[in-house]
């Protein structure tokens, strides 16, 4: 078949470029939303995923690291350690405190973990995770946003902390994690002998599900989660806060993309009305004409997708530099889903132009 | 006596009216009884607004008459639904228009191939057929040009080739010389009538160009929707 759909589209080059550009910007926005979502997923769960702890314990009804309260006596750690199948136990204490950085007051999510920890240390990209009292580790995005470097100081409750490490995969957008020693965190809270979460590493020959069961039986007042359950809990917590906003922006971007395609094709049909009437006159069926419009729409969406992808690749380093707290991370799966979304936008965008097509009559071909 | 086997187009009491307002109608075509035999070249002439193009549209299955019947090659066009009419236009009729109506985005050969493709021909068969049609019309050398660079006469030759592409027995032409100078107009009609005679096609031409009269087997005059 003569490639009539593509030819008619490319005949109006400037319109085609403007439309593909418009779609590209919508796709880029969807890409950023997807990138932010994947970034939130990594940021909200990266700390847990990178930890060697296979089981997490906390106060009953607490479900996640960020938005639930849990305070446990350190004595419980010793009892947990005595449970059969447990190899190692460590505690972390999460506190929220105001910090002063270069005359700015900022709220910090601080996790206190044990020195020489093997379970609670974050993924370090600069400096060390083996910190001492008076030292802290800050998230990479937080450091970038506040121009902090190794050796700089942060004042928390009139105590000075020197930055000894910079970590990654600890940016949950709404908060970036900071880390101190457990004893420093307990001092900042004002209660010694307290932890928020207990991390458990099972023995090599231990069955994790059996160990979880015996911990649940042995400590009925505690919530016991496997690593995957705890990751999922944190993800869901972030999704309830962030996902609706991202969805709303994503849907608006998709609608605007669909509207751009629809307007372009609608205008093109009006402009080429005589051509479509002629096609009807020579026996092109309505279905064949519909296919021409759908093919045009999908072709624009496809080109728009690659333009959007290019914009995303080019612009994302600048966006991250401009807004360090935004964590962009896009997977091949997400990129594929965005491609499917753009094709769907193309199909939906062709609906109104197709309706217009049905109101063109073959006899219009005789009009001068 | 004309038998059904020799009749190409027959209309009986054909009427087309358009509603102007709630009480008034405009009669574009009134009680037209017509018989055109196979291989005949018929010219329908008349002033603007006499109903020539409306009659041609009805013969080509593009608009439905208000009453009366049309039979083309023993197919009752007036009883066809939209799907059947589309198929009828695709297979049974070739059209030539005053303003050529070539698709600008397609090359000359692609404009011909489009009709062939619609009728089920695939490449390279469609390409070959399109080439031989263009050759027949002495315009093969322009096959890869786009319509915008062709002269009016060349465009109309391509339009004639397109009307022949579906190998239909009937060609309906609306003012085929209307946008051509006298030389190109005469050449176009000469070519069309030659091809029609050679391939025994029935041609109905609507025009008020008196130069065409000599090429027609029969001249019909229309006025106020009636054939005089």
| Interface contact A73, partner B, CB < 8 A | no
* A10 neighbourhood in chain B, CB within 8 Å: 105
CA distances from A150 to A163, A253, B11 (A): 5, 40, 95
Largest CA distance in chain B: 56
Which residue of A10, A361, A364, A366 is the best one to mutate when testing the B interface, meaning the one whose CB has the most B CBs within 10 A? A366
- Distance from C-alpha of A40 to C-alpha of A94, rounded to nearest angstrom: 19
State the first-to-last Cα distance of chain A, in angstroms, to the nearest integer: 29
Q: How many CB pairs under 8 A join A and B?
A: 79
> Which member of B104, B118, B174 has the closest CB to residue A284?
B118
* B162 neighbourhood in chain A, CB within 8 Å: 282
Mean pLDDT computed over B67-93:
93
CB contact at 8 A, A169 and A123: yes
Radius of gyration, alpha carbons of chain A: 28
- Distance from C-alpha of A95 to C-alpha of A75, rounded to nearest angstrom: 19
* A13 neighbourhood in chain B, CB within 8 Å: none
> Which member of A1, A11, A362 has the closest CB to residue B105?
A11
DSSP letter for A66, please. S
Nearest CA-CA distance, residue B65 and chain A, Å: 13
At CB < 8 A and 24+ separation, what contacts does A236-241 make?
A236/A64, A237/A44, A237/A63, A237/A64, A237/A66, A237/A67, A237/A68, A238/A40, A238/A41, A238/A44, A238/A66, A238/A172, A238/A174, A241/A67, A241/A174
- Distance from C-alpha of A113 to C-alpha of A111, rounded to nearest angstrom: 6
- Distance from C-alpha of A125 to C-alpha of A141, rounded to nearest angstrom: 12
Q: How many CA atoms lie within 13 A of B142 on its CB side?
A: 23
- Nearest by Cα to A38 from A326, A255, A317, A354: A326
State the first-to-last Cα distance of chain B, in angstroms, to the nearest integer: 22
CA A295 to chain centroid: 33
Q: For B97, which residue in chain A has the nearest alpha carbon?
A: A366
Q: For B95, which residue in chain A has the nearest alpha carbon?
A: A282
Q: Are strands A104-113 and A177-181 parallel, antiparallel or unpaired?
A: parallel
* B115 neighbourhood in chain A, CB within 8 Å: 282
- Distance from C-alpha of A196 to C-alpha of A59, rounded to nearest angstrom: 8
- Distance from C-alpha of A182 to C-alpha of A95, rounded to nearest angstrom: 11
Contact criterion met (CB < 8 Å) for A7 and B106: yes
Q: Are strands B170-174 and B202-206 parallel, antiparallel or unpaired?
A: parallel
- Which residues lie across from B173 on neighbouring strands? B96, B205
CB atoms within 10 A of CB B46: 21
CA B88 to chain centroid: 13
Q: H helices of B11-105, where?
A: 52-59, 82-91
Residue-level pLDDT at B214: 84
Mean pLDDT computed over B8-20:
92
Which two three-digit tokens encode residue A327?
């964590």
Which residue of A2, A285, A299 is the best one to mutate when testing the B interface, meaning the one whose CB has the most B CBs within 10 A? A2
- The label of the residue with tokens 């093969």 reads B140
Strands (E), A207-339: 222-226
Q: Is the pLDDT of residue B42 over 90?
A: yes
- Distance from C-alpha of A322 to C-alpha of A141, rounded to nearest angstrom: 11
* A288 neighbourhood in chain B, CB within 8 Å: 118
CA distances from B48 to A80, A252, B206 (A): 101, 53, 11
Query: What is the ipTM metric for this complex?
Result: 0.91
Residue-level pLDDT at A246: 85
Residue-level pLDDT at B4: 62
Those residues with Cβ within 8 angstroms of residue A225's Cβ, 6 or more apart along the chain or in another chain: A55, A56, A57, A58, A233
| Interface contact A332, partner B, CB < 8 A | no
Contact criterion met (CB < 8 Å) for A281 and B89: yes
CB contact at 8 A, A138 and A176: yes
* A368 neighbourhood in chain B, CB within 8 Å: 98-99
- The label of the residue with tokens 């400037």 reads A14
Contact criterion met (CB < 8 Å) for B118 and A363: no
Which residue of B52, B61, B62 is the best one to mutate when testing the A interface, meaning the one whose CB has the most A CBs within 10 A? B62
- Supply the DSSP string of B130-175, one letter for each residue: HHHHHHHTT-GGGTTS-GGGS-HHHHHHHHHHHHHHT--SEEEEES
- Nearest by Cα to A142 from A98, A112, A109: A109
Note if the bond before A275 is cis, omega within 30 degrees: no
Q: For B112, which residue in chain A has the nearest alpha carbon?
A: A2
* A11 neighbourhood in chain B, CB within 8 Å: 104-105
Q: For A364, which residue in chain B has the nearest alpha carbon?
A: B62
CA B100 to chain centroid: 11
> Which member of A4, A283, A361 has the closest CB to residue B89?
A283
Residue-level pLDDT at B15: 94
| Interface contact A287, partner B, CB < 8 A | no
DSSP letter for A102, please. T
CB atoms within 10 A of CB A98: 11
> Which member of B90, B101, B113 has the closest CB to residue A283?
B90
A179's enclosing H/E stretch is: strand A177-181
Contact criterion met (CB < 8 Å) for B62 and A286: no
CB contact at 8 A, A299 and A268: no
Q: What percent of chain A has pLDDT over 90?
A: 64
Residue-level pLDDT at A238: 80
A38's enclosing H/E stretch is: helix A13-50
Q: How confident is the model at residue B192 (pLDDT cuts 50, 70, 90)?
A: confident
Q: Residues in chain B whose beta carbon is closer than 8 A to a beta carbon of chain A?
A: 53, 56-57, 60, 62-63, 83, 86-91, 95, 97-99, 101, 103-106, 110, 113-115, 117-119, 122, 162, 166, 174
Contact criterion met (CB < 8 Å) for A362 and B89: yes
Which two three-digit tokens encode residue B22?
């709630």
**Positions in chain A short of pLDDT 70:** 368
Q: Is the pLDDT of residue B2 over 80?
A: no
At CB < 8 A and 24+ separation, what contacts does B82-86 make?
B83/A285, B85/B61, B86/A280, B86/A283, B86/A284, B86/A285, B86/A286
Q: Is the pLDDT of residue B60 over 70?
A: yes
CA A239 to chain centroid: 9
Which residue of A281, A285, A357 is the best one to mutate when testing the B interface, meaning the one whose CB has the most B CBs within 10 A? A281
Contact criterion met (CB < 8 Å) for B90 and A282: yes
Q: How confident is the model at residue B5 (pLDDT cuts 50, 70, 90)?
A: low
CB contact at 8 A, B186 and B213: no
């Amino acid at each position: 078949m003569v490639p009539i759909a593509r030819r008619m589209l490319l005949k109006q080059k400037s319109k085609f470029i403007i439309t593909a550009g418009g779609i590209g910007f919508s796709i880029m926005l969807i890409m950023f939303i997807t990138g932010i979502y994947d970034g939130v997923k990594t940021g909200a769960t990266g700390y847990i995923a990178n930890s060697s702890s296979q089981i997490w314990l906390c106060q009953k009804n607490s479900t996640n690291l960020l938005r639930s309260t849990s305070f446990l006596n350190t004595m419980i750690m010793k009892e947990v350690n005595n449970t059969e199948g447990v190899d190692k136990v460590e505690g972390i204490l999460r506190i929220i405190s105001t910090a002063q950085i270069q005359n700015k007051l900022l709220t910090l999510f601080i996790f206190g973990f044990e020195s020489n920890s093997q379970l609670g240390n974050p993924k370090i990209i600069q400096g060390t995770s083996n910190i001492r009292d008076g030292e802290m580790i800050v998230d990479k995005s937080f450091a970038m946003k506040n121009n902090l470097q190794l050796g700089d100081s942060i004042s928390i409750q009139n105590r000075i902390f020197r930055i000894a490490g910079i970590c990654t995969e600890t940016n949950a957008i709404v908060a970036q994690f900071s880390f101190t020693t457990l004893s420093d965190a307990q001092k900042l809270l004002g209660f010694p002998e307290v932890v928020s979460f207990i991390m458990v590493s099972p023995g090599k020959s231990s069955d994790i599900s059996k160990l979880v069961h015996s911990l649940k039986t042995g400590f009925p007042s505690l919530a016991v989660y496997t690593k995957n359950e705890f990751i999922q809990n944190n993800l869901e917590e972030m999704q309830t806060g962030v996902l609706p906003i991202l969805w709303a922006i994503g849907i608006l971007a998709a609608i605007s993309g669909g509207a751009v395609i629809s307007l372009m094709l609608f205008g093109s049909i009006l402009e080429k009305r005589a051509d479509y009437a002629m096609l009807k006159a020579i026996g092109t069926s309505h279905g064949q004409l519909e296919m021409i419009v759908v093919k045009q729409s999908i072709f624009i969406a496809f080109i728009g997708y690659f333009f959007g992808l290019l914009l995303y690749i080019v612009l994302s380093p600048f966006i991250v530099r401009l807004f360090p707290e935004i964590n962009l991370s896009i997977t091949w799966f997400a990129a594929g889903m965005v491609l499917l979304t753009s094709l769907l936008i193309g199909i939906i965008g062709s609906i109104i132009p197709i309706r217009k097509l049905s109101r063109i009559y073959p006899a219009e071909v005789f009009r001068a | 006596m004309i038998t059904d086997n020799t009749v190409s187009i027959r209309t009986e009491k054909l009427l087309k009216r358009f509603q102007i307002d709630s009480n008034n109608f405009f009669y574009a075509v009134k009680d037209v009884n017509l018989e055109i035999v196979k291989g005949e070249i018929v010219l329908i002439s008349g002033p603007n607004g006499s109903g020539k193009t409306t009659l041609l549209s009805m013969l080509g299955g593009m608009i439905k008459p208000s009453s009366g019947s049309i039979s083309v090659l023993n197919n009752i066009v007036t009883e066809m639904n939209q799907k059947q009419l589309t198929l009828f236009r695709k297979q049974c009729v070739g059209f030539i228009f005053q303003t050529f109506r070539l698709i600008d985005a397609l090359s000359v050969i692609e404009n011909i191939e489009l009709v062939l493709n619609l009728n089920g021909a695939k490449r390279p068969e469609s390409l070959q057929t399109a080439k031989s049609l263009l050759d027949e019309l002495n315009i093969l050398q322009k096959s890869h040009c786009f319509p915008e660079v062709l002269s009016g006469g060349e465009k109309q030759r391509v339009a004639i080739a397109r009307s022949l592409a579906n190998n239909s027995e009937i060609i309906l032409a609306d003012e085929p010389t209307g946008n051509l100078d006298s030389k190109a107009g005469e050449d176009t009609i000469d070519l069309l009538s030659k091809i029609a005679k050679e391939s025994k096609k029935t041609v109905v031409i609507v025009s008020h160009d008196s130069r065409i009269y000599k090429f027609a087997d029969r001249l019909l005059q229309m006025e106020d929707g009636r054939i005089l």
